[in-house]
């Protein structure tokens, strides 16, 4: 605490990112990064712009990347907004498109950045409990609100809400923006981008951090009605006109150009997820059905925090949330075949020692 902090900063509860350990040789399964590297075409494209052109500012509107994303999803560039990671896109949405005076609604178990943005922008929040199977219940989103947001698949559960139920939530809130955060949708979901031309209150966010293996490049985007996008542009141009640098723009565009690599790595992650799920079940874990690149699991007989601690001592790091309803769960990112085997080999030893 410093006497120079203003009241807003004193009241903040910032987000705690997953650990990025300095030690090498750890099996790092804690922050849902893609275990496979980015497309070689992405690396080549970034190298291709590493020249004296860096003295110039990048395109403030990222027109070329917007067109590439628009072509991928069969929408117009005016329906696409870019940000420095989808976290920045989300921040602008909370600031510019959610109404004050009524609470923002999101699930009780969800991405823990949402309450942080409410705190930052002075928005009230109300959480809607997941059902006993940890699924989102559309009925909970019928109450008065200033906006709605949920990930699909949800995080950290990995559970998918079918598009018909996403539509129920959209139809119940015609006068409020409903944000579907699709950070993990490429690993098993059906994107709500298919619905943007039918619902002017729908905004879908996605990221290149997961399915396109570019967490280090920081590129995210939103797709929705062009009036929503124009509102986000107003916020962005009142904050930072150049959120994406020249390297990020070039790399991201190349990622969309290499559809073959995207399909290959996404299928590999899905196949590994299925193998890992079977391996964990064989060790007695309950595994929630996941459409993401991670699994949310608990062991009926062993304490969650103890398992996380024991794994850590054996060089395997997974994520644990010390929060109501989920403190017995581990969130495990799907790794390479070798990493997943290391985890499955370490677990019986950890359990034995408990």
2 vs 16, beta carbon nearer ligand PLP: 16
Q: Which of 27, 28, 30, 32 binds ligand PLP (CB under 6 A)?
A: 32
> What dihedral do alpha carbons 321, 323, 326, 331 form, nearest 10°?
-10
Q: DSSP label at 33? A: -
Asked if 155 interacts with ligand PLP (CB under 6 A), we say yes
307: left (phi over 0), alpha (psi -120 to 50) or beta: alpha
Query: To the nearest whole angstrom, how small is the minimum distance from the Cβ of residue 352 to ligand PLP?
Result: 32
Asked if 181 interacts with ligand PLP (CB under 6 A), we say yes
Asked if 201 interacts with ligand PLP (CB under 6 A), we say no
Pairwise CA distance, residues 44 & 254, whole Å: 9
Helix (H, G, I), strand (E, B) or coil at 53: helix
Asked if 220 interacts with ligand PLP (CB under 6 A), we say yes
Only one of the segments 52-60, 80-88, 281-289, 305-313 lies at the binding site for ligand PLP (rule: CB under 6 A); that segment is 80-88
Asked if 85 interacts with ligand PLP (CB under 6 A), we say yes
Only one of the segments 56-64, 83-91, 244-252, 309-317 lies at the binding site for ligand PLP (rule: CB under 6 A); that segment is 83-91
Pairwise CA distance, residues 131 & 154, whole Å: 13
Q: Which of 49, 215, 235, 341 binds ligand PLP (CB under 6 A)?
A: 215
Beta bridge partners of 180: 150, 204
Q: What tokens appear for 185 in the block?
A: 């949708």
Tell me the site size for ligand PLP, rule CB under 6 A: 13
Output the CA–CA distances (angstroms, integers) from residue 108 to 26, 104, 289, in the order listed: 32, 12, 18
Applying CB under 6 A, the residues found at the interface with ligand PLP are 32, 85-87, 111, 151, 155, 181, 183, 207, 209, 215, 220
């Amino acid at each position: 605490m410093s006497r120079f902090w203003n009241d807003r900063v004193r009241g903040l509860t910032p987000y705690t990112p997953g650990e990025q350990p300095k030690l090498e040789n750890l099996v790092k399964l804690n922050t849902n990064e893609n275990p496979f590297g980015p497309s070689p075409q992405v690396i080549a494209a970034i190298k291709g712009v590493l020249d004296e052109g860096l003295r110039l500012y990048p395109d403030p509107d990222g027109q070329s990347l917007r067109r590439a994303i628009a072509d991928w999803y069969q929408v117009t560039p005016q329906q696409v907004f870019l940000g420095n990671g989808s976290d920045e896109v989300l921040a602008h949405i909370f600031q510019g498109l959610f109404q004050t005076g009524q609470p923002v609604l999101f699930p009780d178990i969800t991405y823990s950045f949402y309450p942080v943005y409410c705190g930052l922008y002075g928005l009230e929040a109300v959480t809607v409990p997941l059902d006993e199977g940890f699924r989102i219940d559309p009925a909970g989103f019928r109450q008065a609100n200033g906006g709605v947001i949920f990930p699909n698949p949800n995080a950290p559960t990995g559970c998918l809400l079918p598009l018909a139920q996403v539509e129920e939530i959209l139809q119940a809130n015609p006068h409020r923006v409903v944000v579907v955060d699709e950070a993990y949708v490429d690993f098993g979901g059906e994107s709500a981008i298919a619905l943007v031309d039918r619902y002017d209150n729908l905004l879908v966010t996605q990221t290149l951090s997961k399915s396109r293996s570019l967490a280090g490049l920081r590129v995210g985007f939103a797709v929705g009605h062009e009036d929503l996008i124009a509102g986000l542009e107003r916020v962005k141009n009142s904050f930072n006109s150049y959120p994406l640098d020249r390297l990020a723009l070039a790399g991201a565009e190349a990622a969309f150009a290499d559809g073959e690599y995207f399909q290959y790595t996404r299928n590999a992650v899905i196949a590994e997820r299925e193998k890992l799920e079977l391996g964990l079940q064989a060790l007695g874990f309950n595994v929630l059905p996941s459409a993401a690149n991670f699994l949310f699991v608990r062991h009926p007989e062993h304490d969650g925090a103890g398992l996380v601690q024991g794994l850590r001592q054996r060089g395997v790091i997974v994520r644990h949330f010390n929060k109501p309803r989920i403190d017995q769960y581990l969130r495990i990112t799907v790794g390479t075949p070798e990493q997943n085997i290391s985890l499955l080999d370490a677990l019986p030893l950890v359990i034995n020692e408990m």
